[in-house]
Chain A
Amino acid sequence: MRIGEVAIISHKASEPEDFIKSVCGSIEIKNKTVSFGCLEIDEQLALHLYGMNIENQNRSFFWDIVSRKMLGYILIFDWDDQKMLDAIKPIADNFSQSCEAPIVIVANIKDQTNPPVPDEFYKPEGILLSTNSIFTFGQIDDPECARRILILLVNMLIVKMP
């Protein structure tokens, strides 16, 4: 079985869990630090999603080891919560400076009917922040939206391939 791994990271545990549930349907395994979901593509290929939160981590996390394994990262923060944005900023910098894997940064908006920015500016391709990172708005508990976010990540990987 060939496996692609994606890390979904947020300040709180609930965001990655919601995202994984939206994509995979359910969370397969969960403990205090990591939640895990699996999306089977076919009998030979699967996508593993690891949800991690950084809220209660009182020691360093081996991001440099994790970064060697992952296809890419999805960093989530609540649009209304500056604290969450501030928490993921160092991780965004860490990943962007130490590895090539693409990063999608998602501002989770609770009220999809009134996004801060009209759809046409971010929906199809996200907003390119750098060669390896994209910003987008989304509602992570909406399966369609969560899959769109994953597609953004996969597209960035495809573009890199010859």
Chain B
Amino acid sequence: MAVESLIGFRLSERLEVFFQIFRGNKVSPIIDKLDNHAVSALQNFIWEKTVEFGIICRGKKFDRKEITRKMTPTANYQRQQGCNERAYYCKGTYCIQINPNCARKKIKEHVDIMAETMQEYFRIAKQREIV
């Protein structure tokens, strides 16, 4: 099994992400300290965790749309930015290399939404415990 990549999204940065989420803070400020590769990795990481926590909290009722419906759809975002590139540039990790500022802005919005969603799951679970 390979050791962690020496570049990109470090363990300490993942730890910092959780630290902020569990404290009810925004995650987007962390993005400013990361390189492009790490930013993509952070987005994937938070997405996986949000889905994981969603399943833990909501079980079979979980649907990814709970998370994605709060996000600006890709086509709308491109229009807002005046971007004429193809749609798939704006999904995934493509544009982080081409236009990092624009991609980072979008990713910041997404990660904050995902963090809020996770915090919402915690609140739901806590209320269940109390009840």
Contact = CB atoms under 8 A, between A and B. Distances in A.
In the complex they form, whether A and B have CB atoms below 8 Å apart is answered with yes
B12 interface: yes
How many B residues are at the interface, by size bracket? 20 to 34
A86 to B, nearest CB: 9
Contacts, number: 65
A105 interface: yes
Contacts of B57: 120-121
A93 B10 contact: yes
A31 interface: no
Interface stretch (A33-41, A49-57, A130-138): A130-138
A129 interface: yes
B22 A117 contact: yes
B15 A92 contact: yes
Interface residues of A, number: 26
B11 A129 contact: yes
B22 A116 contact: yes
Contact of A121 (B3, B4, B12, B53): B53
Interface of B: 1, 3-4, 6, 10-12, 14-16, 18-19, 22-23, 49, 53, 56-57, 121-122, 125-126, 128-129
Interface of A: 85, 89-90, 92-93, 96-100, 103, 105, 116-121, 127, 129-133, 135, 160
